[in-house]
Homo-oligomer: A and B are copies of this chain.
Amino acid sequence: MVWVEGVGAPAAALDRGLEFGDGLFETIAVAGARPRLLGRHLARLRAGAARLGLAVPSEPALTEELGRAAATPGAAVVKLILTRGAGGTGYGADPALATRRYVAALPARARAGDPARDGIAVATLATRLAEQPALAGLKHLNRLEQVLGRRELAGHPGAAEGLMLDVHGRLVCGTMTNVYLVIQGRLVTPSLVRAGVEGVMRAELLAGWASTGQPCEVRDVAPVELAAASEVFVSNALIGVWPVVAVDGRALAAGPVARAAQARVAAL
């Protein structure tokens, strides 16, 4: 047991992030001892804070803290958690609460093999994503669906990522990645207006494709379209881009669009 608070205890240790998932997070890759794509991470954090009504921390302070964490020897990932603060136990928050932030410098995650080079197998999961437009796109702290998806994925030992559909059966994303398909030469990624997280790497890739004259269509995607795809790949801020070489047992090759995206990530 962790005794967090007795009546009359001086400090309220119950954080609304722990109590209700009332907050946001960013998981930031470290490259050259600096946070990679920091501007995009901070932009997403600001946008999420505005949607949840969280006070936005001072950007210079955040930049300094995240930079300091990234400079920690051995740091490969910096994790930032922003919560509405600590105090009280009800869903309604005292507007006077001060947000709290947690910063952790973390080592690289051990991974089997070289998924960026060799690609990964993915499995379509039975665990569905609820549709909640009020929260869609945000990297908020309510992530039980992803936890359940990841638990289900453990039953697919060959698959490194699970694809998740929404309750209406549309393809949305991986448990920890965004997903892209190349269909008859056209690049497509699922719309995230009802579910899913707007990945920072996704934003970077979309901007890059738009600027190079090969825009990526953002629209509803049916899982059956996976069968028609010549390429499938996934992205997030930490892994960059991983080609998908098997979808539910159907073999695919790592293709030129994924490889070009990887080259772009390597140049960040």
Contact = CB atoms under 8 A, between A and B. Distances in A.
Contact of A100 (B2, B89, B176): B2
A74 B6 CA distance: 9
> Assembly of this chain: how many copies?
2
Contacts of A140: 144
A169 to B, nearest CB: 13
A149 interface: yes
A154 interface: yes
Given A18-B15, A65-B1, A144-B142, A7 B150 contact: no
Contacts of A107: 7
A22 interface: yes
A143 B142 contact: yes
Which of A7, A72, A107, A150 has the most B CB atoms < 10 Å from its CB? A7
Interface of A: 1-8, 13-22, 25, 27, 52-53, 61, 65, 69, 72-75, 77, 79, 81, 83-84, 89-93, 100-107, 109, 127-128, 130-132, 134-135, 140-151, 153-154, 167, 175-176
